[in-house]
């Protein structure tokens, strides 16, 4: 379902966004990519400093690579939902007007994104035209009735990743890039410094964003490799597994 959203959602006229929280990040020295003499590894301080932590709330649009983010020191539902409603409301306001369809057809358009699910969200009785798909992790805070009803009222269908399937959320890829660019290789003293540089790094990313595509060439290579069995030492391959010869011990054990 989520793969279908990434591959055809935009073609169906639906904006596909993803959301996740990165962190927590603690103000302390964070190692980066560096070189050290052999036998003299880099050592980090073992002291735990109670300076708070930072989380990065991040919305990501894979089709054009644009991201929206906010750094926070605490993330209860009151903070999370308020920011999501503000950010998503502004995004929906920029979308093209939705086409008007019959109520029965409109409900089927919403229900198609629940096909195959064992546990389905109860859709609201009156649904506006569907305008956006929002991929989120499968957390309890993302499923509170008030928040889900707000999404429905604004034409947003939430798609929750499977339990243990956070890799389906494409925003995690850009979060790793932002974290590496902003925080690694420096010694941080306060949460305010970390929030400032994280948000500035997101603004720098948006100045020259990189669109993300589900699967791509790497997935195609993996699919091709599963269709054949490589033979070590050359570029030769087979389209069925090579039969292994039994050793003398294995032949004796079978007798």
Q: How many residues does the chain have?
A: 255
Is the model more confident about 166 or about 77? 77
**Two tokens at 148?**
């889900």
How confident is the prediction for the chain on average, in pLDDT? 82
Cis peptide before 12 (omega within 30 of 0): no
Mean local confidence (pLDDT), 62-74: 92
Judgement on whether residues 235 and 136 belong to the same structural domain of the protein: no
Judgement on whether residues 118 and 156 belong to the same structural domain of the protein: yes
Strands (E) in the chain, as ranges, are 15-25, 29-30, 54-61, 66-72, 132-136, 156-160, 186-187, 229-230, 237-238
Judgement on whether residues 158 and 231 belong to the same structural domain of the protein: no
**Two tokens at 101?**
């369809």
User: Could you tell me which residues are beta bridge partners of residue 207?
Assistant: none
Q: Is the pLDDT at 236 greater than 60, yes or no? A: no
Q: By percentage, how much of the chain surpasses pLDDT 90?
A: 31
Least confident among 33-47, 125-139, 180-194, 222-236: 222-236
Cα distance between residue 190 and residue 184, in whole Å: 15
Judgement on whether residues 113 and 229 belong to the same structural domain of the protein: no
Query: What residue has token string 């603004």?
Result: 203
Q: Is the pLDDT at 169 greater than 90, yes or no? A: no
Judgement on whether residues 245 and 140 belong to the same structural domain of the protein: no
Judgement on whether residues 201 and 151 belong to the same structural domain of the protein: yes
Helices (H), the chain: 2-8, 77-94, 103-111, 145-153, 171-182, 191-207, 216-226, 248-254
User: Could you tell me which residues are beta bridge partners of residue 54?
Assistant: 25
- pTM of the predicted model as reported, rounded to 2 decimal places: 0.77
Report residue 69's pLDDT band, with 50, 70 and 90 as the boundaries: very high
**Two tokens at 178?**
């932002």
Residue 127, domain extent: 2-207
Sign of CA dihedral 75, 77, 83, 88: positive
Cβ partners under 8 Å of residue 176, min gap 6? none
Q: Is the pLDDT at 231 greater than 60, yes or no? A: no
Give the pLDDT confidence score for residue 228 in this predicted structure. Answer: 64
* Domain contains 220: no
Judgement on whether residues 153 and 250 belong to the same structural domain of the protein: no
**Two tokens at 60?**
């990501």
Is the model more confident about 25 or about 241? 25
Mean local confidence (pLDDT), 76-104: 90
Least confident among 22-36, 51-65, 86-100: 22-36
Cα first-last separation, the chain: 51
Cα distance between residue 135 and residue 67, in whole Å: 14
Give the pLDDT confidence score for residue 17 in this predicted structure. Answer: 94
Helix (H, G, I), strand (E, B) or coil at 15: strand
CB 91 within 8 A of CB 214: no
Give the pLDDT confidence score for residue 249 in this predicted structure. Answer: 57
Number of domains in the chain: 2
Judgement on whether residues 160 and 237 belong to the same structural domain of the protein: no
Q: Is the pLDDT at 123 greater than 90, yes or no? A: no
Judgement on whether residues 202 and 231 belong to the same structural domain of the protein: no
Judgement on whether residues 196 and 169 belong to the same structural domain of the protein: yes
CB 237 within 8 A of CB 229: yes
- On the 0-12 / 13-18 / 19+ scale of CB atoms within 10 A, 113 is buried
Cα distance between residue 23 and residue 54, in whole Å: 7
* Domain contains 35: yes
Q: Is the pLDDT at 41 greater than 70, yes or no? A: no
* Domain contains 218: no
Give the pLDDT confidence score for residue 230 in this predicted structure. Answer: 55
């Amino acid at each position: 379902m989520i793969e279908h959203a990434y591959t055809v959602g935009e073609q169906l006229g639906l904006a596909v966004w993803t959301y996740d929280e990165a962190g927590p990040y603690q103000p302390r020295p964070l190692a980066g990519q560096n070189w050290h003499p052999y036998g003299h590894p880099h050592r980090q301080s073992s002291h735990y400093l109670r300076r708070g932590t930072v989380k990065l709330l991040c919305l990501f649009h894979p089709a054009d690579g644009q991201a929206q983010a906010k750094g926070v020191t605490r993330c209860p539902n009151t903070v999370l939902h308020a920011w999501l409603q503000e950010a998503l409301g502004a995004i929906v306001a920029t979308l093209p007007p939705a086409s008007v369809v019959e109520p029965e057809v409109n409900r089927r358009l919403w229900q198609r994104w629940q096909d195959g699910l064992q546990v389905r969200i109860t859709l609201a009785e009156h649904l506006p035209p569907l305008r956006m798909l929002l991929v989120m992790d499968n957390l309890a805070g993302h499923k509170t009735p008030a928040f889900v009803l707000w999404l429905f009222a604004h034409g947003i269908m939430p798609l929750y990743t499977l339990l243990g399937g956070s890799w389906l959320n494409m925003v995690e890829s850009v979060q790793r890039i932002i974290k590496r660019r902003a925080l690694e290789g420096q010694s941080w003293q306060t949460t305010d410094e970390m929030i400032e540089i994280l948000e500035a790094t997101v603004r720098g990313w948006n100045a020259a964003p990189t669109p993300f595509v589900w699967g791509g060439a790497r997935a195609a290579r993996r699919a091709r490799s599963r269709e054949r069995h490589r033979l070590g030492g050359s570029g030769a391959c087979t389209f069925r597994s090579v039969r292994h010869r039994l050793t003398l011990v294995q032949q004796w054990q079978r007798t």
